[in-house]
Structure 1
Amino acid sequence: MPDFLLVFAQSHSEFRLPELESVAELYGFPLSLPADSDPSRPFMPLQLESEEHARLLASRCILIKYVYELYAQGGNYDELHVANSANIHLWSSYAHDTSFKFLVTAYNHKIPESRQRNVVEGFDYMGFMGKIDLKNPQIILGCFEEYDSSAGLAITRHDRDGRFRQVYFGRLVVEGSARALVKTFDVKKRLYYGNTSMESEISLLMANQAMASPSKLVYDPFCGTGSMAYPIAYFGAQVFGSDIDGRQMRGKAGKDQPPGVLRAAKQYGVADRIIDLCTFDVTCNPWRCGDLFDTIVTDPPYGVRAGAKRLGRKKELSEVQKAANIEHQLSARNKLEPYIPPTKPYELSLLAADLVVLARYLLKPGGRLVFFLPTVNEQYEEVDIRSMLCDGMLLVANSLQDFGSWGRRLVTIRKATDESYPPPSFEEEREPGGHVPGHKDFREQYFRGFKKED
């Protein structure tokens, strides 16, 4: 299998490997990573069956900037040149009459121009006789030096130069085209958005882990302003959205205007892939049969910018109040006025556990549940995620977006069974005992500054 080098965008390092694996599974080809591969590093060598597979990754992975065919790597240039000379069969066909361009660059460091020239001259044994073309070359050869961070070190750039961790050399295969979608779906340029709208890069990463593609049916049970619907539909899937608060999906639309989510979907040319938007409580849902959806992907509210709600009241009404409430409902119905039912808070740890059980009921075998779960970094334990799983549901990925004292984890779970399950009951009263996850009562912890109660 040929060796390739992935050059990553410098963001969301924990999401790199799950995205790679999801896209490779989507297109049906294997990845072969070195045993010591570290996704937190900016360069990742890997083996693929063909160059076409490298192009597929670059066309879909949001975090890939470039893919190079890897000719050689080493801890110093002597090792690099020995390895490159041994791989003459990879580059000899370009040596005689191919126009080329040579790039020398570094991560966490700026290489002086004088040493860049010395590095290029060090490859003269390759005998490239073609024209040097800086604007339109037939091939681009790249040399990448990887340096550790210099933060907190009392060392000058001059002293640091050349003391790299690893150096890589190869031929550019393709630039990552999917990266441009981050600007395409920029929330600031969107016709309709709200204070809970997901940033575009994250929503695209979620769409990739959801393996969105044509002919798939995807459900977002906490649709809100539709941030997840747009990239999912852009990749060809059909989307159904629901929310307990229809105002989030509708926005301040006039009588003759479509809901805000559909207006933004039209902006991206995907309005015909939004099947419908419905208002209902996910715990009182209308689904009367399971195994419906290929994927459930959502960003549940967790009480910081918007709180999770379910139907019900915090306190039970007296008989007099119940009678008055029924009279109010009938009056609203007779006057054709909207009746907004009362809601009460939906505690995050219960919501997350219920979401997994709902996904087991609604997903087709092999379908994925992709959602964000906020966690308190000091209190988080792996068992917090494992304890949410139920029979038939298998954890695929768990990646942290770190905000300091807290973070949110992108959790991907697969339905790993062909068995059909009954609809979940969403019991409000749970049996005490068992593991108490660190994200329980997250909202209260957040506004308390994550300090322990007295």
Structure 2
Amino acid sequence: MIQEQEHIVTLVLNQSIEMGEFAIQEAIQLFELFGIPYQELLKLYFPINQFPKKYEITSQTLPNYPFVDVYLKDLDIIPKVLSRSLMIHDILFTISRANTIEELPMNVLLQAMPYIENSNLSCKCDIITSFFKITQEKRVELMEQVFGEKGFNCQNTINLTEPDILYYLMITKDQKYIAGFNLAKKKKRREKNFARIYELPNRIYLGPVSLAHDLAFLMANQAQVKENDFVFDPFAGTGSSLVACSHFGAICFGSEIDGYLMKGHCIGYINSKSTYLKDPNYKQVKPYINLNFQQYNLPPPNLIQTDIHLPNFNPRVDEFFDAIICDPPYGIRASIQQDGNEQDLQANRTAIYKRMFEVARRVLRKGGRLVYLYPLFKGMEKKVEKEDGFELIDFREQKMVDKRSRLLVTMEKL
């Protein structure tokens, strides 16, 4: 039974084949960050006494994916979630859902009626499909059928440039229908593709392997990084993960074994294609990691050159960090090295991840998140081993090239 103060909204999730499975988990983590447990968010889909683990919730367990209906009591949370999500295309108020298009007008929710019947509001209509395309002629026909006199009979006036309401008809891959809307003017909308300015092709300082900007922001969201959190990357590289965390207001720390990379010698280089070089305030300086923070007017991280794998590594901070986010060096990049066999690579990976957890047990506070990437190669099972002192929150696979892939893993310290 839906309580009176609750609203049904529809999450329109990213349909990317490569990154799609990250979408539902990012949504779960962001709503949880703003105070909504995933059991409450997704109670439409699972019995309360049989709720799955977070990592068990996938596109296969959610009917109508990538359109996901959720319950919200506080609508002010919508712009907060959208302001930092990469994988949620939009969040719409649900009007109706049905197995056939003819049934949509018979299932209209009361929450939508004040908007549909308001002749003082203007509107625009569109269609979102799942994994297939339809012609423009068919689009017009469907919009008239759903929102016209024979459908919802919307009383709004048409305004294609600055509407008050944006109506959407969503068609799932198994040909089911969901109608929804958002308030284009009255609800604060996020800046489209806010993370695009951080794309690597425009990043001023790069190394041989720099973490992609979208993956860095996803990892920050998985860690639920927020303002004034203390975040540590023990394999900082050129600082991609820390740039994302700094964007969300975190106080960043990093270590890196390769001093040449941190200071811009040999393998680190200035990206000549970066538009930042055309900024009149830019001054020609030696390439180094802090340039990536200067580029976006972010505070520089606190960095040290060291190898956490060494026995004498002693950070001298116990339970200090709120999150550790990293892409350990014995991952995808190790698999393409010319020297070393698979057995050697596996030994390297095992050693570095073991040490990573040893450091995390010491420096991560209780309830803090450890988010990292783990490589998978041909024949490897897609699973994550249990670690003493940590709870597995989630793991998702990202497909790579040549049958390689990697897991984005999220752990929480107990």
TM-score, scaled relative to structure 2: 0.79
For the structure 1 residues 293 and 179, does the alpha-carbon distance in structure 2 shift closer, same or farther, using more than 3 Å as the test? farther
* 1:75 corresponds to: 99
User: Do the aligned residues in 1 keep the contact of 2:320 with 2:364 (CA within 8 Å)?
Assistant: yes
Deviation at 1:182, TM superposition (A): 3.4
Amino acid at match of 1:22: Q
What is the aligned counterpart of 2:177 among 159, 162, 167?
167
* 2:30 corresponds to: 23
Deviation at 1:25, TM superposition (A): 2.4
Amino acid at match of 1:39: S
| SS across alignment from 1:373 | strand
For the structure 1 residues 412 and 100, does the alpha-carbon distance in structure 2 shift closer, same or farther, using more than 3 Å as the test? same
Q: Deviations over 1:217-270 (max 9, x none)?
A: 11100011111111111110011111111111111389x946621011100111
Matched, 1:51 2:75: yes
For the structure 1 residues 93 and 411, does the alpha-carbon distance in structure 2 shift closer, same or farther, using more than 3 Å as the test? closer
For residues 230 and 292 of structure 1, what CA distance do their matches in structure 2 show? Answer: 20
* 2:276 corresponds to: none
Deviation at 1:295, TM superposition (A): 0.6
Deviation at 1:147, TM superposition (A): 2.7
Amino acid at match of 1:8: L
> Unaligned regions of 5+ residues in structure 1, if any?
149-163, 308-343, 417-454
User: How is 1:25-44 mapped onto 2 (pairs within 5 angstroms)?
Assistant: 25-31=32-38, 32-33=41-42, 34-35=44-45, 38-39=58-59, 41-44=65-68
For residues 101 and 348 of structure 1, what CA distance do their matches in structure 2 show? Answer: 53
> Unaligned regions of 5+ residues in structure 2, if any?
1-5, 47-56, 271-283, 336-344
For residues 380 and 100 of structure 1, what CA distance do their matches in structure 2 show? Answer: 50
**132-141 or 175-184, larger mean C-alpha shift:** 175-184
* 1:443 corresponds to: none
Residue identity (%): 26
Deviation at 1:304, TM superposition (A): 5.0
User: Do the aligned residues in 1 keep the contact of 2:21 with 2:58 (CA within 8 Å)?
Assistant: no
* 2:327 corresponds to: 299
User: Do the aligned residues in 2 keep the contact of 1:195 with 1:305 (CA within 8 Å)?
Assistant: no
What is the aligned counterpart of 1:410 among 395, 408, 411?
408
Q: Deviations over 1:79-125 (max 9, x none)?
A: 322112xx244223442321111223423121451563354244325
User: Do the aligned residues in 1 keep the contact of 2:13 with 2:24 (CA within 8 Å)?
Assistant: no
Query: Which has more radius of gyration?
Result: 1
For residues 300 and 205 of structure 1, what CA distance do their matches in structure 2 show? Answer: 16
For residues 361 and 286 of structure 2, what CA distance do their matches in structure 1 show? Answer: 33
| SS across alignment from 1:247 | helix
For the structure 1 residues 114 and 399, does the alpha-carbon distance in structure 2 shift closer, same or farther, using more than 3 Å as the test? closer
* 1:348 corresponds to: 349
Deviation at 1:381, TM superposition (A): 4.6
* 1:213 corresponds to: 226
* 1:120 corresponds to: 144
What is the aligned counterpart of 2:390 among 390, 393, 396?
393
Q: Tell me how many residue pairs correspond in the alignment.
A: 357
User: Do the aligned residues in 2 keep the contact of 1:237 with 1:273 (CA within 8 Å)?
Assistant: no
User: Aligned-residue CA RMSD in angstroms?
Assistant: 2.8
TM-score, scaled relative to structure 1: 0.72
For residues 115 and 189 of structure 1, what CA distance do their matches in structure 2 show? Answer: 37
* 2:273 corresponds to: none
What is the aligned counterpart of 1:287 among 309, 315, 319?
315
| SS across alignment from 1:348 | helix
User: Do the aligned residues in 2 keep the contact of 1:67 with 1:176 (CA within 8 Å)?
Assistant: no
